[in-house]
Structure 1
Amino acid sequence: MVSESESTVPQGVVPAGVVPTAEQIRRAPKVLLHDHLDGGLRPATIVKLARETGYDALPETDAGRLESWFRESADSGSLERYLETFSHTVGVMQTRDALFRVASECAQDLAADGVVYAEVRYAPEQHLLGGLTLEQVVEAVDEGFREGERLARAAGHRIRVGALLTAMRHAARALEIAELANRYRDLGVVGFDIAGAEAGHPPTRHLDAFEYLKRENNHFTIHAGEAFGLPSIWQALQWCGADRLGHGMRIIDDIQVGDGGDVKLGRLAAYVRDKRIPLELCPSSNLQTGAAPSYAEHPIGLLRRLHFRATVNTDNRLMSGTSMSNEFGHLVRTFRYTLDDMQWFTVNAMKSAFIPFDERLAMINDVVKPGYAALKSEWLFPSAAV
């Protein structure tokens, strides 16, 4: 007996509305723009590095229990407990060998999850307690990323990783870190970022850093529109000139949806969409911090429907217990997204990367699109499935 889907789909046409399997989501080429190095360590590595470096403040010394502690603390709803989780990851990342290992494992883990391009961010100023200089921190992380890329290739995975150097918005080293990012551009560092609590620490405090980067024709993103609302987004764009918005989900506050489903964009939301400003959306992280109540109510659904430059990201893989495959899995189950939707998000991200245009185009045409075409062909020719 022929199934309904078989009887209604013309030969040679991929069925519309068919959602990918978990395995196809994992194998799909993915692009990641918002991932924190200190938020993605392997629990076993944290335990090992703590032992090697003499860090004795871990709440658990068993890797399994430690992993559970990170997730439970991040889910607790307590900002203090959430921030405490990073004190432990940063605490074991104070030597060259530790930074090298964490960066290498980061690249390998992302590649194994199907990520073909990633921009991973970290704050060099947070890794100086062991006597390293800012330059030594950047060089150790870069060497780790390159080693991770090599090991990923040996395992049959391809990935390219660029670094974003982050300045902490509550500190006063933004210009220094921006200058560091500029010195190491084209040497593994692709851009700059500021992170930390938005409320009380507006991006305008660091205008000197952003003006410097603009004079140097360098790229930067700004954490904005996550915990704080539209003023944070407006300042990041109009005062600072950000190329991308880290999170940016609160742009939804400037979008009105009527009872009949009609949508009206405010001036700022229209500007963000018209200018194709990328939004580095992190669904699972947003649920943890209370920025969104559920995946179904996360703004990404409406922003995708309205064709904003939306991208999908992990933020902190350890704290959120997530991966790019997990993030897309949640969205596929919630919104019934197809491989076409996944490709749309992925192309958006690759278009928005901080590498040269020709390299972005090559990644889209030579890696992303062929990868999704191969997955779609599995619906037509099941024997071709891996």
Structure 2
Amino acid sequence: MSFDLTDEQQMLREMVHDFVERECPKLVARDLEAAEEFPHALAAKMAAASLPGVGIPEELGGQGGGMVEQVIVCEELSRSLGGLSWMWGLTAFSGARALLAHGSPEQQQAMLPRMAAGDLTFAIALTEPGGGTDVLRAMRTRARRTDGGWILNGTKIWSTLAHVSDRLLVLARTSDEERASQGLTVFLVDRRSPGVTATPIPKLGMRAMGSCEVSFADVVVPDADVLGDVGGGWRQILASLNSERLLVAAMCLGIHRGVLEDAVAYAGEREAFGKPIGAMQAIQHGIADIAMTLECSRLLIYRAAWLYEQGRPCGVEATTAKCLAAEWATSAADFGIQVLGGYGYAQEYNMQRYWRDARLYRIGPITNEMARNVVGESLGLPRSF
């Protein structure tokens, strides 16, 4: 059993680390987030560094690699960018993974090379207003047949980057079936289509990553933009959700690393009562806890990513990794604020940004309460929902 990265994976980690230090170190990331606007210039730099191509096969214009490589990229970006790393991660899971798993050869050839070049971006539009985690029973968005395609109507909520992405991965009901999980279809909707309106929602964290309410009013979607089988959309979405949970977990891992770095640096420099505060046992033990949970998080995430790459079942492992990584990162950032004292509450320091970004992922893309339901059911316990 080996826990070492391959030489190629280690080179990738070093490359992304150097990119972050050069193009988006923590102070730059702080200012980008404070501007509350999507950082198009940084997206262009990521494209120039070929980061969007990680996880896309070379024969389709990408850099190759699998889920472990994508986890490496997301972790290294998040150490500085925090939630801003989702500008890379969202297309990586909602577009690339979905197309690789379920796209037709024509869709893959048309879209994946453009995604690898950074010329085509994706967002996912899944959650319904008032539905939250209860996606199936809350589904009101519908698509009906027309000549050569479909007419889409409905509303989605919390669709991050829907206002700037090129395509939206949309789940809609296309027929009424006895089981709520049947009769659903995934569409690759052109965000610029007439009838699509995306409105960002002001929120606590990830402020430059606009999360939107998206309305679809008689939007025409051609048959060529149906992903996979008509009526088989729920199965296709579930396959994408494992990759989303793994990349969210990797984001939380990167945030956790950033918190540890900042807490150690501040505790070593700040003096009180004639000595560095890092010499005080209460501070030292709290920072040690941050370091220990960081290692636990890393092991869970990389094992789940390895299982994903092997094609083995990993739903429980990915859900567990997301749940605990989010809780540990949020707890770490909360104690980091305590270490910095008043400065931890000041926007000129990054600790409050880390807390605001990590806190979201105890709620999404699946609440940690629902994550525990998934784990409990896997143990043979009765279904609770």
TM-score under structure 1 length normalisation: 0.27
